[in-house]
Structure 1
């Protein structure tokens, strides 16, 4: 029996990875677990939540899967990718998938392009159709400054564990990602010491890679990676 743990990103929730989770549920008999990290979800409550609580919650979910399932697949998106890497270094995991993983963050060049596109949509009176604008508009004012510091602490804490990962890993990255520079994929490939590593770029995808234009191709690629030579 196979258990698959999917970990969402910072200030997000299971909805960020729902198309992937739904695809795997429809096409496999695996148990798919997508926990909501403390303070996250549709309604954010990050005021007094530390990065240690995020790590502990994900670790607890993984331990519970280990109690019930023979094989474990681990998928992490954005900050969830760093959490997944940390867990893969500490525990037995059969395969690891890292999506737009925040080993580094903020591509200022792409941010300027995104802002320019939002401004253009504003002039056309179509700002409310700009998916990126709508997604981040909701979060303005909901994320305390301290929570951003906790995010940075988590990235710093988990980075050293990359060199301890020896499980097969798939690294997927959107080339138009304004939060995580696409070159981060190369950084992850270099730092992770697994013998089997695959890196794939999606030209049309931004940070929310599981919700973007390439989501169907992404889903099938992840499925192929996880089911290969099992």
Structure 2
């Protein structure tokens, strides 16, 4: 056997195993697809046809799910925004369950609002699965400050929070003229631009336009 062929075989196997350790659904599919394609080629060269058929089938399944996931990532029919009270029991359960992960993105976030603090909370649902949470504090003068915009690890390669910002009527009903993100990391800039924020001073601002869906 050629050394490069054996290396390719091990590489395909390693990618498939590595894919199974991924929490992010999109990353899992891509790694699994590449690994299964390499394994298909490897087994075809060696003439091991049962494994060719198995890995080819896995490749087709991965291609289908990648197509479907990318097609649905901006589909409002797939994701639903549900407003809940800031002290809603289920919301607090989600925040407690993912507290360590949330702290890495919003270290200053406090799940339970201070007495007198006006805050709006939104769950982003994909079917019966909660995939994101957005919380906005009323800072007065028509300004809503985003305290939390968090996505579960499985859907971190997608942008489910965008569906909250798309529904401008949600913020208008709260009396907001604009929504502000006080500061953002480098990895968030593309997302913020994509959902209609613009840089202003040290932060990012999105005007609330009632008749806009973006």
Q: Same fold (TM over 0.5)?
A: no
- Report the structure number with the largest CA radius of gyration: 2
* Greater RCO (Cα-Cα under 8 Å, separation 6 or more): 1
TM-score of the aligned structures, taking structure 1 as reference length:
0.24
